[in-house]
Structure 1
Amino acid sequence: MSAGRRTLGFSWPALVALAALAAPRVVLHDLHVVEEGRPAALLLAVVPLICWVAAVLWRRPSRPFLTVVVIGAIHGVLLAVGHQLLWDEAFGAAGPRLGDIDPRAQEAVFRVAAVFSSLVTGVLTGVVAGALAAVLSRLVIGRQRAAGSERAGGRPPDAAVPRG
């Protein structure tokens, strides 16, 4: 078992696949297929995060918060790559401008800023969804322990049964 799977509860390909659930939003947004403020944009933004939290609740990794932050960080990388690949489609010839600076320098500045922004967005998204996953994990585990305690006649589930 890899260190990633032990710590995060998923293999690296599974973590990348979970992060990739949010990739369609990047493509559809940059191609102007889905515009901000529309229900489709909201669904494309929220459903992948729900999937991340659900996957963590299902697999129960030992560190659910860290797991979702890593998924978010991978999402940030995918977000940065997507924006860079679709830059011309997103902005066309009328891209953002910085006054009288050489257009190539401007584009470089904006592209670097977009990469940084994408990475920060991915990590912060992972932090928010990870906090939710951690809280829900504790609630689910607490309920399971309480249910197990009731079935065991009030004893904690891991209490030793006296032999006599």
Structure 2
Amino acid sequence: MDVNVPETRRRHRLGLPLWQLVGLAALAMPRVFVHDAGGRVGWPVQALLVFGPPLVWLAVAVLRRIPSPVITLLAVGGLYGAGVAVVHNLFWSDVFGNRPPRLGGNLADQLSPGTEELVFRLTTSASSLLTGLMVGLITGLLAVLVRRLARR
């Protein structure tokens, strides 16, 4: 352990405490709930739900001068993606009702309905996690760009 590194620096390797990372990820969750619950919102509200949270992530990374914004926002995006996966799985029956997705083509009727559902839920979860990570990565790269432009 390096005694020359301040305690707060050692504790927050991702640039922010865990509760703040979770809080930033949670800012993006209302859009997921609205979508999965079948809610309809107008364009300005939808734009705010989609673009507002990553803009807040960007602002936090730049204004707090987070040492590695890409890593920090990848973590936030990963938490967001995990949250999306959980919400999608919780709302699965509400979204699909009695018409769950089915495999087609050569895989049609090859698996039991339960196995098909498991395949789709796992795929949906992986997709949700990847989407969250991509949002975090893009936002982190934008934070690096903004910081470099601000130095000039």
Q: What number of residue pairs does the alignment pair up?
A: 140
8 Å contact from structure 1 (residues 76, 120) kept in 2: yes
Q: What amino acid maps onto 2:149 in structure 1?
A: L
What does 1:86-105 correspond to in 2, within 5 Å?
86-98=91-103, 99-100=108-109, 101-105=111-115
For the aligned residue pairs, the C-alpha RMSD in angstroms reads 1.8
Secondary structure of the 2:77 match is helix
Work out which of the residue numbers 8, 17, 28 in structure 2 matches 1:11. 17
* C-alpha separation in 2, matches of 1:25 and 1:56: 22
Residue deviations 1:120-140 (CA, integer Å, cap 9, x gap): 001111111111011112222
Q: CA deviation at 1:56?
A: 0.9
TM-score (normalised: structure 2) = 0.84
Structure 2: any 5+ residue segments left out of the alignment?
1-7
8 Å contact from structure 1 (residues 64, 137) kept in 2: no
Q: Are the structure 2 counterparts of residues 119 and 4 from structure 1 closer, same or farther at C-alpha, using a change threshold of 3 Å?
A: farther
Q: CA deviation at 1:38?
A: 4.2
What does 1:1-164 correspond to in 2, within 5 Å?
1=8, 3=10, 5=12, 7-34=13-40, 38-98=43-103, 99-100=108-109, 101-140=111-150, 142-143=151-152
Structure 1: any 5+ residue segments left out of the alignment?
144-164
8 Å contact from structure 1 (residues 80, 114) kept in 2: yes
* C-alpha separation in 2, matches of 1:55 and 1:13: 14
Q: CA deviation at 1:71?
A: 0.8
Higher relative contact order (CA 8 A, sep 6+): 2
Q: Structure 1 runs of 4+ off > 6 angstroms?
A: none
